[in-house]
Chains A and B, each alone.
Chain A
Amino acid sequence: MDTAVRVRGLTKRYGEVQAVGGIDLDIHAGEVYAILGPNGAGKSTTVEIMEGHRTRDAGEVSVLGVDPGRPTRAWRSRIGIVLQTANDVAEATVRETVRHFAGYYPGSKDPDEVIEQVGLTEKADQRIRKLSGGQRRRVDVALGVIGDPELLFLDEPTTGFDPEARRQFWELIAGLARGGTTIVLTTHYLDEAEALADRVAVVAGGRIVAEGEPKTLGGRAAAKALVSWSDEGGHHSLETDTPTRTVLELTARFDGEVPELAVTRPTLEDVYLRLIETPA
């Protein structure tokens, strides 16, 4: 499998603060890789170093085979970046802006197709200033993919979205991923990582504390299930590797319905909260 991004021993310090304290990671070509972590964990710094927006103190970084510390035009035209916040190009229309940015790249996509892909065809002649937050974000994505990038960075793309806008946005990103674009996504929404990512890295205190597929992250799949129920004595719960047997036993004991029966496994959120509580 081809490697799109390779990072070894990355560190970055701001004055007294060690923002990134030795990160290693490999992102494969064609996958969606999510970097998850609380604010100030170092995820944005890490991504900005990969994007060539920030210098690093130490470590090796290779993005599409190039050191982002020395970005070239040719390399820039192979990656796409969707930043956290931007309020620029307010007075231009969607179509004018997407067309203008298309001109920067040697092999850009068709502007009207990209506008359609991000679902803004009806707003194409609208000034960007007049768009809603979610629509603006779609323009950002359009500008990120207009150069037909091999690798797309999305930095907290759905912050401030309402739930419906977020679902629509996910579909857009999933569509790009199906088209073969490698996507590096930072987010602090767990459901977003779970819905989109092939693999997730949890960053806390400037380090990766866990990495893996969302469903197995932090030993989630192997974790014990929690069975809980009530009787005259109050509420009970039991951690077990064999929840089915426990439920059968309870069914026999109560001879039918078990009051307030629930069987739960740790959610990604449980795993995540545990991981970021105890940074390695």
Chain B
Amino acid sequence: MSQTLARPSAPALRAGQPSVTRLGLSRTVIENRMFFREREAVIFTFALPIIMLVLFGSIFSGEMEGTGLTVSQLYVAGLIGTATMTGFQNLGINVAMDRDDGTLKRLAGTPLPRTSYFIGKALNTLSVSFFQVVILLAIGVTLFGLELPSEASRWVTFTWVFVLGVVGSSLLGVAISSLPRSARSASAVIAMPFVVLQFISGVFIPIGQLPAWLVNVASVFPLKWMCQGFRSVFLGDAGVTLEVAKSYELDRVALVLGAWAVGGLVLCLMTFRWKSRRDG
């Protein structure tokens, strides 16, 4: 026993600090583990988009005029957009909780770089969003006659829209987590703008049916562009006539999502606090 009390490592033995990326991956493992163990949160996170899809897909089962596409296929694309942006809401609340329950303060007292913490959150979100998308696609294919694209180019589009979208929304989520005063108010503060965004970005209501000024508002935010990108992947040429611009404008999708990812990172680094407001 006395041997375990001896100090085996002299300062000279302390090698270099572990790398930021390795610690980021290590954070991802523990974040994923803790996320998937919280059963209620998992069920709620995954059930919501499924219920929405089944509900909306069943209520509005008609065909879109002159396209051969069904409304439910439109919802699959829209809800994949929502799933891609889940990180915004999840992280906004989750990081506020980390701030409240002492996680952040504990981490701030260790040599963990905050970039590694962000990496952990972003990759955790990437896995959660990915599972949501897989489930939505499975339901779309089995229940609503969605045809998965066969061209590789469309999957390339899917991949960059998805990754850019998740990264941007995760960073925005971390940034907005500083806004609510406590974890208890976080869900209200953060869920509200997210719900509004879903209504004006073409998730629940086809974007062509919205007044122009609302579309303009939505165009500032990333969700509208994610949905547009996913429609290009899953509705293809048949759906292009439904677009406001009569085109999927993929270059603009890339531009806006890229700008949000960069802007989100800047916001994050500017606003992120390890401590809660009352700690001063």
Where the two chains meet, the residues of A that have a C-beta atom closer than 8 Å to any C-beta of B are: 14, 51-54, 73-74, 76-79, 81, 83, 85-92, 96-97, 100-101, 103-107, 109, 113, 116-117, 127, 143, 147-148, 150, 175-176, 178-181
Contacts and interface: CB of A to CB of B under 8 A. Distances in A.
A259 B106 CA distance: 57
A146 B102 CA distance: 18
Interface string B4-38: 11111101011111100011001001100110011
Given A107-B13, A107-B15, A92 B30 contact: yes
B105 A86 contact: yes
B16 A88 contact: no
Interface of B: 4-9, 11, 13-18, 22-23, 26, 29-30, 33-34, 37-38, 98, 101-103, 105-106, 108-113, 275, 279-280
Nearest to B280: A14
B212 to A, nearest CB: 47
22 contacts: A53-B105, A53-B109, A73-B111, A73-B113, A74-B17, A76-B110, A77-B17, A78-B11, A86-B102, A88-B101, A88-B102, A89-B34, A89-B103, A91-B37, A92-B30, A92-B33, A96-B30, A97-B30, A106-B16, A107-B9, A109-B8, A147-B111
Contact of A106 (B14, B22, B113): B14
B6 A88 contact: no
A74 B11 CA distance: 11
Given A104-B18, A104-B111, A53 B275 contact: yes
Contacts of B101: 86-88, 90
A143 B111 contact: no
B129 to A, nearest CB: 20
Given A86-B106, A107-B13, 7 more contacts: A83-B109, A103-B26, A104-B18, A106-B18, A107-B14, A113-B4, A180-B7
Contact of B5 (A77, A78, A83, A175): A175
A181 B103 CA distance: 25
Contacts of A103: 18, 22-23, 26
A105 B111 contact: yes
Nearest to B29: A100
A248 to B, nearest CB: 47
Contacts of A53: 105, 108-109, 275, 279
B4 A116 contact: yes
Given A74-B17, A92-B33, A104-B18, A83 B102 contact: yes
Contacts of B280: 14, 54
A126 B108 CA distance: 25
Q: Which of A76, A79, A117 has the most CB of B within 10 A?
A: A76
B276 to A, nearest CB: 12
A162 to B, nearest CB: 22
Contacts of A79: 109
Q: Which of A52, A143, A148 has the most CB of B within 10 A?
A: A148
Contacts of A14: 280
The 6 closest A-B pairs by CB, nearest first: A86-B102, A88-B103, A81-B109, A76-B111, A179-B5, A107-B14
Contacts of B38: 91
Q: Which of A88, A143, A147 has the most CB of B within 10 A?
A: A88
B117 to A, nearest CB: 11
B17 A106 contact: yes
A46 B40 CA distance: 41
